[in-house]
């Protein structure tokens, strides 16, 4: 029993360190980058001021010097706030790591209790949960940073009472719109469990969705409240919000559900009720702090009509562009649920002449494999997108497209250099990862192999999953919303067609292949469009050379990893931990050395924490010193 507990603990620790530490690093690097970078380099506006000092008359030089002094003072003020912001980053990082640890425990406990293919119960649960979770990503995390926060921040600096008025109106509109959607959904669910027998999977999923739909309202409003507090430099409450869901989920699946029933379906109902309770807490835990900051609900629509227009003007195209991958996953889960059944059973709604192409558990395999491939996507893609966004935003605001193109080029090179080996590693270790994380209790060996196949094929698209957020945000910064929207439409359409076409021969693997192909097509379209638009600013040759270096290095890395891990015996959990650890360390060292030997600087740039070369920063500093001396 003790040995089993030790193995279980080692799995949790390994998973949580890999997953939780990514946002800790993200927050820390983002803060260092945004706070230290202004002092490390003078931006494009400062450089134009320095040139004006050398080329203009004495009077204009003095005026220019004043603007340089202002920029310098602002940089010094940023440096004074460094300790405070680093403390916030540490807080958010610790809370995120705790949340990821709890999330891993949650998934492992759920897999052990409900498995993947027990009567299609887990399939119905993950589809029902995906709906509100998708709404949170669409309506909350997806566009809140590029629509609501900039407008709220501007109003907060100008008129705090009007800013609170805007928050009240946005929360009210979200509540009204989503309530209408929830009521319509509840009616459809009532039809579902009224006209279908109790042994039908439609009956079960209708009940679960009916219970889960109110969570959609709660979590979307909680996401907006969290974004507001983060804008006001209040990070503690938003940082613990994910942990609330994980704690209550764990309490439900480990304590409440087994206590009341051993039936998996009843346990799903209990777990769904626990998620609803978590949503209530996640929303109302924000209110005391918002109240102390001065928030009072004030639904005066006319006062903020212009601000609302700016928020919702391009809201839905931005939603679609940023979350097309999530839409594809939701569509895949829905199709998997609809076309899955017991082996040999025919599809009744197609006349009973067509056999189900998918086995029970297809939707669950998408859920579990997504939890794994989300690691490199979050660690690399979302992290780099978050770090590069304020820098590109500054260049776009200054209309300095040369610097915009240079920094975007380096960001793309960094993403390519890190995402390609991550994809290779995920494909190599897919079976070991699946075995280590999920195979226990009701999660059988067959479930493990099915999930490993999904992880393998999802891994092939990791590079595209990582590149998309950066390129899409770059389009938004230059005011182009149509291109990401059109690319997203193409990606979703391709995924839908491939899903319905490939499942008859490739079965559930078709979903991972289709999502990866559609993401690759979407990324290529976006990259080609931004190259065509800013060809003279983005260095295509540097990106191409980086891609070739990364492919060659990753190929050699893969061969060496396979040779090394083949010497590791055993198929138990301890062997899995050794396999993954040795393979990851070996691959990282080999890949970094090969890339550097071929002239690649991307890893060095990433570790150094800035995008500008040292020589360039030195020249700018020398110009700045000369200017101060002339003055």
Are residue 273 and residue 332 in the same domain, yes or no? no
Q: Is residue 199 part of a domain?
A: yes
Q: Which of 517, 539, 561 is the last residue of a domain?
A: 539
Beta-bridge partner residues of 579? none
Same domain for 480 and 523, yes or no, is yes
Find out whether 285 and 225 touch, Cβ atoms under 8 Å.
no
Mean pLDDT for the stretch of residues 468-487: 88
Residues 74, 32, 231, CA angle at the centre, nearest 5°? 70
Contacts of 92 (CB under 8 A, 6+ apart): 23, 24, 27, 235, 239
Q: How many CB atoms lie within 10 A of CB 82?
A: 14
The structure tokens 């589809």 sit at: 127
The tokens for 75 are: 């940089």
Strand partners, 444: none
Taking 50 as the threshold, does the pLDDT of residue 38 lie above it? no
- The last residue of one of the domains, among 495, 515, 539, is 539
Residue 544 in domain: no
Closest of 470, 386, 403, 472 to residue 611, by C-alpha = 403
Residue 183 sits in which domain range? 116-313
Give the distance from CA 58 to its chain's centroid: 51
pLDDT at residue 553, rounded to an integer: 93
Examine residue 428 and state whether it is found in any structural domain, yes or no: yes
Question: 335-393 pLDDT, tens per residue?
Answer: 999 999 887 788 887 777 888 999 999 999 999 998 888 777 766 776 676 667 667 77
Are residues 238 and 370 located together in one domain of the fold?
Answer: no
Three-state secondary structure along 539-566? CHHHHHHHHHHHHHHHHHHHHHHHHHHC
User: Is the same domain home to 290 and 337?
Assistant: no
**Whether residue 138 is found in the same domain as residue 254:** yes
Q: Are 560 and 590 spatial neighbours (Cβ–Cβ below 8 Å)?
A: yes
211 part of a folded domain = yes
Tell whether 471 and 507 lie within a shared domain: yes
Sign of CA dihedral 233, 239, 244, 249: positive
Give yes or no: residues 309 and 332 share one domain: no
At what angle are helices 401-428 and 462-477 packed, to 10 degrees?
160
What pLDDT shows up at residue 55? Answer: 42
Same domain, 367 and 238: no
Q: What is the pLDDT of residues 587-617, one digit of tens each?
A: 999 999 999 898 887 777 666 654 444 445 5
Q: CB-based burial of residue 135 (10 Å sphere; 0-12 exposed, 13-18 middle, 19+ buried)?
A: buried
Clarify whether residues 288 and 334 are in a common domain: no
Which residue carries 């042994």 as its tokens?
199
Co-location of 293 and 442 in the same domain: no
Considering the domain boundaries, does residue 56 fall inside one? no
Residue 79 in tokens: 């440096």
Does some domain include residue 222? yes
**Interval 155-210: pLDDT, tens:** 888 888 998 999 999 999 989 999 999 999 999 998 887 888 777 888 889 999 99
Of 539, 565, 586, the residue at which a domain comes to its end is 539
In a domain, 89, yes or no: no
User: Considering the chain, what percentage of its residues have pLDDT values greater than 70?
Assistant: 77
- Does the residue 23 lie in any domain? no
Mean pLDDT of 33-57: 37
Residue indicated by tokens 């009077």? 59
Number of independent structural domains in the chain: 2
Q: What's the pLDDT score for residue 19?
A: 47
Are residue 399 and residue 503 in the same domain, yes or no?
A: yes
Give yes or no: residues 363 and 510 share one domain.
Answer: yes
């Amino acid at each position: 029993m003790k040995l089993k507990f030790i193995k279980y603990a080692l799995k949790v620790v390994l998973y949580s360190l890999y997953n939780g530490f990514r946002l800790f690093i993200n927050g820390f690097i983002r803060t260092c980058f945004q706070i230290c970078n202004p002092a490390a380099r003078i931006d494009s506006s400062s450089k134009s001021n320095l040139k004006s000092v050398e080329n203009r008359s004495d009077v204009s030089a003095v005026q220019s010097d004043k603007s340089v002094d202002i920029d310098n003072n602002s940089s010094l003020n940023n440096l004074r706030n460094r300790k405070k912001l680093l403390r916030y980053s540490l807080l958010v990082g610790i809370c995120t790591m705790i949340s990821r640890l709890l999330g891993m425990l949650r998934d492992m406990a759920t897999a052990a209790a409900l498995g993947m293919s027990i009567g299609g119960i887990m399939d119905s649960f993950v589809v029902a949960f995906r709906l509100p979770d998708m709404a949170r990503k669409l309506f909350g995390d997806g566009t809140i940073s590029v629509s609501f926060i900039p407008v709220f921040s501007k109003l907060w600096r100008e008129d705090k009472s009007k800013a609170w008025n805007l928050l009240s109106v946005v929360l009210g509109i979200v509540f009204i719109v989503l309530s209408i959607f929830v009521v319509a959904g509840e009616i459809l669910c009532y039809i579902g469990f009224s006209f279908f027998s109790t042994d039908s999977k439609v009956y079960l999923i209708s009940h679960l969705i009916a219970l889960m739909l109110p969570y959609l309202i709660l979590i979307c409003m909680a996401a907006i409240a969290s974004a507001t507090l983060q804008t006001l430099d209040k990070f503690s409450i938003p940082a613990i919000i994910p942990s609330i869901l994980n704690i209550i989920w764990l309490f439900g699946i480990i304590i409440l559900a087994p206590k009341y029933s051993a039936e998996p379906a009843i346990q799903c109902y209990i777990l769904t009720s626990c998620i609803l309770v978590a949503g209530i807490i996640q929303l109302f835990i924000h209110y005391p702090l918002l109240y102390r900051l001065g928030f009072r609900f004030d639904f005066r629509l006319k006062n903020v009509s212009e601000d609302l227009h700016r928020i919702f003007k391009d809201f839905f195209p931005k939603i679609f562009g940023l979350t097309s991958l999530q839409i594809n996953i939701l569509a895949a889960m829905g199709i998997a649920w609809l076309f899955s059944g017991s082996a040999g059973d025919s599809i009744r709604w197609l006349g009973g002449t067509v056999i189900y192409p998918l086995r029970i558990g297809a939707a669950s395999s998408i859920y579990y494999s997504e939890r794994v491939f989300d690691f490199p996507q979050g660690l690399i893609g979302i992290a780099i997108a978050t770090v590069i966004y304020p820098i590109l935003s500054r260049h776009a605001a200054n209309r300095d497209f040369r610097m915009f193109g240079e920094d975007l080029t380096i960001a793309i090179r960094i993403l390519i250099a890190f995402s390609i080996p991550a994809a290779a590693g995920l494909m190599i270790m897919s079976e070991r990862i699946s075995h280590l994380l999920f195979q226990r209790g009701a999660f059988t060996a067959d479930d493990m192999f099915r999930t490993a196949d999904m992880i393998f094929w999802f891994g092939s698209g990791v590079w595209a999953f990582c590149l998309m957020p950066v390129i899409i945000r770059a389009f938004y910064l230059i005011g182009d919303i149509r291109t990401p929207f059109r690319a997203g439409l193409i990606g979703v359409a391709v995924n839908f067609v491939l899903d319905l076409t490939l499942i008859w021969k490739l079965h559930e693997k078709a979903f991972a292949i289709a999502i990866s192909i559609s993401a690759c097509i979407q990324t290529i379209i976006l990259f080609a469009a931004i190259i065509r638009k800013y060809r003279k600013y983005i260095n295509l040759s540097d990106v191409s050379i980086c891609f070739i270096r990364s492919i060659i290095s990753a190929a050699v890395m893969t061969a060496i990893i396979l040779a090394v891990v083949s010497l590791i015996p055993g198929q138990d959990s301890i062997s899995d931990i050794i396999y993954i650890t040795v393979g990851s360390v070996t691959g990282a060292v080999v890949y970094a050395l090969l890339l550097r030997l071929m002239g690649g600087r991307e890893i060095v740039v990433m570790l150094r924490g800035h995008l500008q070369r040292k020589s360039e920063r030195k020249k700018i500093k020398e110009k700045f010193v000369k200017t101060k001396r002339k003055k």
